[in-house]
Amino acid sequence: MTDMNDISPGVAGLQTRLVIETITQVVNGAEIVEIVGSLDETIPGFQAESWSAPGAEHALEHIRKRVVGVLGVRGEVAPFSCVVSGIAWGVLIEPIALQDGAVIGALVVARQGRAWSSRERALSKAFGGLLSHTVTLAARENALMDQRRLDELVGQVAERLMSASSATRQEVLTATMRVLAEFLGADVAFLRRNDHSRGLSVLEAEWPPREIPNPDPLGEVPFDADPVFAATKNLRKPYLAGAEDDDYLERVEKGSGVPQVGGACVPLLLADTTWGVIGFLHFGLHGWTPEEISALQAIASMLVQLQARIDAQERTEYIAMHDDLTGLPNRRSLLRELEVRLAAHRETAILFFDLDRFKVMNDFLGHASGDRVLTTIGDRIRTSIRPNDFAARLGGDEFVILVGDVSSEMEVAATAYRILGVIGEPIDFAGQQVSHTASIGIVLSKPGVQNGVELLGWADVALYAAKRQGRNQAVVFDEELRESVSERSRTELTLREAIEGDGLRLHYQPEVDLRTGELLAVEALVRWQHPTRGLLPASAFITVAEETGLVVDMGRWVFAEACRQLAAWRREYPDLPLVVRVNMSPAQFVISGLVEFVENCLRVHRIPGERLCIEMTEHAVLQEPEQTARILKGFQALGVEVAIDDFGTGYASFTELKHLPVDYLKLDTTFVQGITSDPSDKAIVEAIIQLGRALDLGVIAEGIECGATIDKLLELGCHRGQGYLMSVPMSAEELAPVLRAGAVPVSTFRSVGKVAPALSDQSL
């Protein structure tokens, strides 16, 4: 006989027959032996199986039904007698119970006629106890195995979710729903997001894929559509949907075609908000164990963490790809979009524009008002483009629009002028209407062009062509502009070689006392000894130098060379109190270490600071006023003089001029040349001379070309000047006679009607 304690839970189901055979051997006269489950449910660890002696089969079913009925109703058992087909049967029933006392089945032993002895009852009870012990162990093992499987499920889902990103989110969520549905034996698994702002439950992922009707009754469902969806709005604990939820079942049937389902939802909780739910449907009724619900709650928590991580990732990506002031895509986003369009061979027009004279307006109204202008323009652009167009802010006041589905150049130009109209609409500032114009450069993508940066460069060229045409214009990049770009590139390359090599030269133009001809100073002017075009004036290359930043290196070379030449002149003409004036571009004033550079040049060449004068434009004063003021004070400490060149053409305020350490104002050539014929020019010159006298600043006239101009300047009180009438710019060698004489003969420029000779470009 087999000892029941030797039957392990893992193999108990395979030993059912052996158990029954053992009982038939030890219970005298047993004709029916059966292990039956409560309500016909399977007993953990055992197969529902029975044995009956020949001829007793007719009584087996009757006895089983009665036993099952008793178990189902009372949950307790006791021996009983019954008559089947006129034959009396005595039935022993021993409960099979778990450790907590729950009866889940019974051991049934029956025979005809004879009553059961005390020994037989005790033996039957012992077998029942052994079976209960075995079943308890089996149930415990099954529970452990189920928990292990649930733990493995949670681990598998966690690993999958950890690898998810914003790009793979949908794929991972769908795969997760598939894993959960297959593991739990659910016919449908789904994840829904709660859109609280719209009052909707939104389907995010589901498994298996279904043929979706149009409209989909399950896609977006109002919370108030039925009690089930209302329950998911602020669900805080698992929810089981049953047959009583008629509206919900009807909606599911419309969406899936399945008439009867049982379901469960587990909330996805994000802080104090129900972000959504994961749910499961069974086509028919289904029971859920506490362990399954706990595992689903753990998975729900991981799904919420995934969403929080993806939200943070998307926010980071958004910040990286968008302008923080206007909310428009930024340069990085623009280049990515342009790359996609070019790769797809989509015809695209690029509209590159910036606001005209925005810096002046920004300085006048203040940066807060400037930001408001930019945000307003950004909003207008965003709402003015078509759905397949793309707008971005590159930075500052620069914007770009990609126009798709281009049919003609004329259509693009019409779009550009429509944008100009939108930009030009007034903006209200506390009751004051402020309008702004823009200039637009247009380039159309060409077949085979894959470089978005190159296209933007072409559009930028067209933009500046629009500005040169008077602003508030749109210019299309064409072959003429393309050639100008090529020429500019060639100029840049050759100019860079000239700066690094020995291609630059300095010429010097005298500045004299208009009354006596005495030499007061010379202005150093850069020239370029071009390898094929000869000696070029600064006007032929200064724009390229400024746009490419080469003007900084070129300016340092000019200053160092001027100091070297001045040192040589001081040795050759020790009694000549000569001052050399050197131009500095605005770009040089924003580079650190300028004062230290000037000081080093003075020290190396042993030049006192008062023998040098640095000339700067009004634009340089306004570009970085605080930094410029610090630099000028540094020059002042070195004894170096400062002159504002082309004075009257910019927007330097008198307040700033009053507080800057400036020594001279240089009258712009256009005003000087119009002094004898244009009353406005005469009035401007007279005002500047009076301003210089009031601020104790010297005033220098430049661009003098006729004797009548000198007479008028002297009449107004300006005694210093330079121009072709007195002397053209010359090399150091050519200037030697003037230096030896210390003057320019008055007869060369004070004769009545004297006019400067016509000069070639090379002499400028």
Residue 519's domain comprises 491-755
pLDDT value of residue 270: 87
Q: What is the mean pLDDT of residues 376-393?
A: 92
Beta strand pairing status for 438-444 and 474-476?
parallel
632-668 residue pLDDT tens:
999 999 999 999 998 877 555 556 667 788 999 999 8
Question: Which amino acid appears at position 53 of this protein?
Answer: A
pLDDT at 3 > cutoff 50: no
Residue 338 and residue 311 share a domain: no
pTM: 0.55
Largest CA distance in the chain: 160
Nearest to 474 by CA among 394, 412, 381, 516: 412
Do 411 and 521 fall into the same domain?
no
pLDDT of residue 249: 59
pLDDT in tens, 260-299: 567 788 999 988 899 999 999 887 766 777 888 888 899 9
> What average pLDDT does range 699-719 have in this prediction?
93
At residue 18 the predicted structure's pLDDT band, cuts being 50, 70 and 90, is confident
Measured between its terminal Cα atoms, the distance across the chain in Å is 125
**In the structure encoding, which two tokens stand for residue 496, read together?**
């860079």
pLDDT score recorded for residue 650: 59
Structure confidence at residue 210 (pLDDT): 86
Q: Is the pLDDT of residue 169 over 70?
A: yes
Place of tokens 């109002």: 222
Which of 128-137, 301-310, 360-369, 574-583 is the most confident on average? 574-583
Exposure letters 701-730 (e unless 16+ CB within 10 A, then b): bbbbbbbebbebbeebebbbbbbbbbbbbb
Domain final residue pick, 319, 348, 377: 319
Q: How many CB atoms lie within 10 A of CB 533?
A: 11
| Sheet of 438-444, strand order | 390-395, 398-404, 348-355, 438-444, 474-476
Quick one: pLDDT at residue 637?
Answer: 95
What pLDDT does residue 243 have?
A: 47
Beta bridge partners of 441: 352, 475
Highest mean pLDDT among 286-290, 456-460, 523-527: 523-527
Verify that 636 and 737 share a domain, yes or no. Answer: yes
Of the spans 146-160, 476-490, 712-726, which averages the highest pLDDT? 712-726
Decide if pLDDT at 531 tops 60: yes
Tell me: do 514 and 584 sit in the same domain: yes
pLDDT given for residue 343 in this prediction: 85
Same domain assignment for residues 391 and 530: no
Number of domains in the chain: 4
Residue 552 has pLDDT above 70, yes or no: yes
Whether 431 contacts 465, CB under 8 Å:
no
Nearest to 452 by CA among 324, 355, 544, 333: 333
> Long-range pairs for 621-626 at CB < 8 Å and ≥24 separation?
621/650, 621/652, 621/656, 621/657, 621/660, 622/363, 622/650, 622/651, 622/652, 622/656, 623/586, 623/589, 623/590, 624/589, 624/590, 625/656
Which of 319, 348, 368 terminates a domain? The answer is 319
- State residue 600's pLDDT score: 96
Q: What is the mean pLDDT of residues 743-757?
A: 73
Chain mean position to CA 263: 41
Which of the listed residues 89, 124, 142 is the one where a domain comes to its end? Answer: 142
- In a domain, residue 624? The reply is yes
Is residue 329 over pLDDT 90?
yes
Q: Kindly tell me the burial class for residue 167, based on how many C-beta atoms sit within 10 Å of its own C-beta (0-12, 13-18, 19 or more).
A: exposed
- 10 Å Cβ neighbour count for 669? 16
**Is residue 704 in a domain?**
yes
| Residue 419 burial (10 A CB sphere; 0-12, 13-18, 19+) | buried
Q: Report CA torsion sign: 487, 493, 499, 504.
A: negative
Contact 332, 321 (CB under 8 A): yes
The domain that contains 191 carries what CATH number?
A: 3.30.450.40
Please tell me the predicted confidence (pLDDT) of residue 580: 97
Tell me whether residue 485 is in a domain.
Answer: no
CATH code: domain of residue 575: 3.20.20.450
Mean pLDDT of the chain: 84
Please tell me the predicted confidence (pLDDT) of residue 119. 84
Per the model's pLDDT, the better-predicted residue between 257 and 347 turns out to be 347
CATH number, domain with residue 354: 3.30.70.270
- Is residue 228 domain-shared with residue 348, that is, in the same domain? no
DSSP state letter for 706: B
Same domain as 669, residue 534: yes
Confidence class for position 9, pLDDT limits 50, 70, 90: very low
Do both 314 and 339 map to the same domain?
Answer: no
CA dist 299 to 167, 262, 265, 380, Å? 21, 21, 12, 45
In a domain, 217, yes or no: yes
Judge whether 202 lies within some domain: yes
pLDDT at 448: 66
Judge whether 760 lies within some domain.
Answer: no
For residue 654, give the amino acid letter: F
Instruction: Give mean pLDDT, residues 60-77.
Output: 70
Give the single-character DSSP code of 168: T
More confident residue, 753 or 619: 619
CA distance 30 to 64: 15
Asked whether 16 and 35 are in contact (CB, 8 A), the reply is: yes
- pLDDT level of residue 6 (50, 70, 90 thresholds): very low
Shared domain check, 554 and 408: no
Same domain, yes or no: 741 and 688: yes
How far is the C-alpha of 366 from the C-alpha of 357, rounded, in Å?
A: 14
What proportion of the chain, given as a percentage, has pLDDT over 90? 40
Which structure tokens are listed for 203?
């389907």
Residues 6 or more apart whose Cβ sits within 8 Å of residue 173: 164, 191, 204, 205, 303
- The 3-state secondary structure of 596-629, one letter per residue: HHHHHHHHHHCCCHHHEEEEEEHHHHHHCHHHHH
740 in Cβ contact with 573 (< 8 Å): yes
Helix ranges, 501-585 (H): 542-548, 550-572
CB atoms within 10 A of CB 24: 17
Q: Residue range 77-93: average pLDDT?
A: 81
**pLDDT digit string, tens, across residues 295-310:** 889 999 999 999 889 8
DSSP β-bridge partners for residue 189: 207, 280
As a whole number, mean pLDDT of residues 195-224 equals: 91
The verdict on residue 385 lying in a domain is: yes
d(Cα 54, Cα 177) in Å, to the nearest integer? 53
Q: What is the pLDDT of residue 762?
A: 34
Q: Clarify whether residues 460 and 562 are in a common domain.
A: no
Q: Are residues 356 and 290 in the same domain?
A: no
**Would you say residue 255 lies in a domain?**
yes
Q: What is the mean pLDDT of residues 123-129?
A: 84
